[in-house]
Amino acid sequence: MAVDTRPPSYTAPAPRGLDRLSDEQLIARFRAGDDAALDVALRRHERRLLRFARRILGTRSPNAEDVVQEAMLRTHLVLRRGDRAIDLGPWLFKLVRNCALDELARVRSEVGPLDAVPEPAAVGSDPADVTAARGRMRDTLADVAALPDLQRHALLRREIEGATHADVAGELGITEPASRLLVLRARANLVKARAGRDARCDDIRDELLLADDAGRRASAHAYRHLATCAACREFRSALRQRRHDLKVLTPLPLLFGGLVGLKLAGGALLPGAGAGGSSVGAKLATAGAVTAAVAGGTLGIDRVFGPGDPAPVTVRSVAVPGGLLASGSPLPVGTAIVTRTVAPDPALPVSRYAIACPPGLRVAGLAPTTSGSTHALAPETIVGASTKAVVLAEPSSARAHLELAVVCRDPAADGSVLADPVRARAAASSSASTATVCVPRTYLRRAPGSRAVTGSLTRRQPVAVRAEREGWRKVTADTGATGWVRTSALC
């Protein structure tokens, strides 16, 4: 016989008489085939469970109801599949607690920084105290959520529910000493996690520097701090990159060895250099410097290449004339490329980097430097409008470091950042007027109100208006794309 796994409905009115029955009696009736009986029992606890979930997840969390529903669904399935005796109230609270902690752990692993975890409620009258209490509670819950499953279960059963080690051991199928050890380790891990989080960044960075100098790993204390401190993780990445840079530069003295009298950028003379400079040597040195810069710039340091500078990467984009600019070719007027070498954290699914264009220039795209790793502008970066690019990058198992190259352009009078914008055809049309997109992004549609799209537009993108009809305008973008947009999307 197929098992009915449908979740119960909690909105229907309770059949008369069931309200007077105890949870145990209702469960018995449910197991005898009366589905409405469990609805009544669950509804009894629903409001308190919701409050409990919100205390853990935060009053503004949209997931509290989902957590309660998940707990109820699990209860429904457990009761339907077996005749195990359960005390419904405590059972539900335990399930909600575990589901809420799982939710916290999920949010933490997906989002990364704890800043994104919703704040739980706190009591108190002084706003400063309330804020501090919220912070402590959030941190503690996050630490508990991060504990290994067995440790978390043992700790919560002991600390919150007062269960004996015999109970915990029985539940987990382990011995009592092992249960005791789990609880001790869980407590110790919570203390260590707090100590790591509360450590001063300066101290941690000093320790990272010492460990780097000694060629050893930093302490577990430092790593616990790194798990919650994005700034220190960036610092550690910078240290690693610097080491990598030095390896890259190792053969360069051999290259420069024959260059007599060549001055380094800092003004220091190469060892053994004579007085006579060499233009050939200078070119070689420049080429070497560019190669080194591209092979691995200093981590976290932006390198700006302006008009006339050799392009540090190949750019295939309509932001450059002809759509292609080979690496080493001089950058055209009004164009800059800002590069940065980054080391995406392998512990995070995605790393974010903010790279600013030179003053007056706007982001005109990202020139990928490798096809082996997904990296792209974040949705909040609007090409043609933003002056700072936020780049998302996934960690790569093949390469520890990634070179990001943001293309920047000086916008034309009409706001276009394309090298060869489509203006001629629009201007040739006597009926065409110009407009600018006023919303962050909008689709170009094949007909007014149609779901079929022909492209999309971004804020500040110039368009030539070709026709108008009932709140819609037919436009041609500077990319050449044509379609209909709502009049309200244009300035």
Partner 1 sequence: MNRPGVAAAVTTALVAAVAVAPPASAAPKRAKADEVCAPSAPLYESPGGLQIGVVAGGRTVFVLKRTASGSWVRVRTTIGARGWVKARLLCDEGA
CA atoms within 13 A on the CB side of 178: 11
453 binds partner 1 (CB under 8 A): yes
Write down the least CB distance from residue 453 to partner 1, Å: 6
Cβ closest to partner 1, residue 319 vs residue 490 = 319
193 binds partner 1 (CB under 8 A): no
314 binds partner 1 (CB under 8 A): no
Cβ closest to partner 1, residue 144 vs residue 463 = 463
The residues pairing with 482 across neighbouring beta strands, listed in sequence order, are: 476
Site for partner 1 in 317-336 (CB under 8 A): 317-319
Site for partner 1 in 211-240 (CB under 8 A): none
Cα 379 from Cα 386, distance rounded (Å): 11
Cβ closest to partner 1, residue 27 vs residue 405 = 405
Cα 237 from Cα 217, distance rounded (Å): 13
Cα 55 from Cα 296, distance rounded (Å): 48
Cβ closest to partner 1, residue 284 vs residue 350 = 350
The closest of 119, 115, 37, 18 to 80, measured between CA atoms, is 37
The closest of 439, 431, 422 to 482, measured between CA atoms, is 422
Cα 267 from Cα 261, distance rounded (Å): 11
101 binds partner 1 (CB under 8 A): no
Q: Which span (62-70, 219-227, 423-431, 445-453) binds partner 1, by CB under 8 A?
A: 445-453
Instruction: Provide the residue type at 455 as one letter.
Output: G
**Local structure of residue 114 (DSSP, 8 states):** G
Cβ closest to partner 1, residue 291 vs residue 373 = 373
The closest of 146, 153, 145 to 170, measured between CA atoms, is 153
Backbone φ, ψ for residue 144 (5° rounding): -65, -40
Site for partner 1 in 454-473 (CB under 8 A): 454-458
Cα 461 from Cα 381, distance rounded (Å): 14
423 binds partner 1 (CB under 8 A): no
438 binds partner 1 (CB under 8 A): no
Instruction: Provide the residue type at 71 as one letter.
Output: A
State which of residues 392, 402, 408, 426 lies at the interface with partner 1 (CB under 8 A).
392
Asked if residue 417 lies in contact with residue 411, where contact means CB atoms within 8 angstroms, the answer is yes
Q: Which span (93-101, 133-141, 463-471, 475-483) binds partner 1, by CB under 8 A?
A: 475-483
Cα 337 from Cα 288, distance rounded (Å): 19
Cα 444 from Cα 5, distance rounded (Å): 44
Q: How many residues bind partner 1 (CB under 8 A)?
A: 44
Q: Which two tokens stand for residue 81?
A: 């599949």
Write down the least CB distance from residue 461 to partner 1, Å: 8
Site for partner 1 in 336-355 (CB under 8 A): 349-350
State which of residues 227, 284, 378, 439 lies at the interface with partner 1 (CB under 8 A).
378
489 binds partner 1 (CB under 8 A): no
366 binds partner 1 (CB under 8 A): yes
Which residues sit at the interface with partner 1, rule CB under 8 A?
316-319, 349-350, 364-368, 370-379, 381, 383-384, 391-394, 407, 417-418, 443, 446, 452-458, 477, 479-481
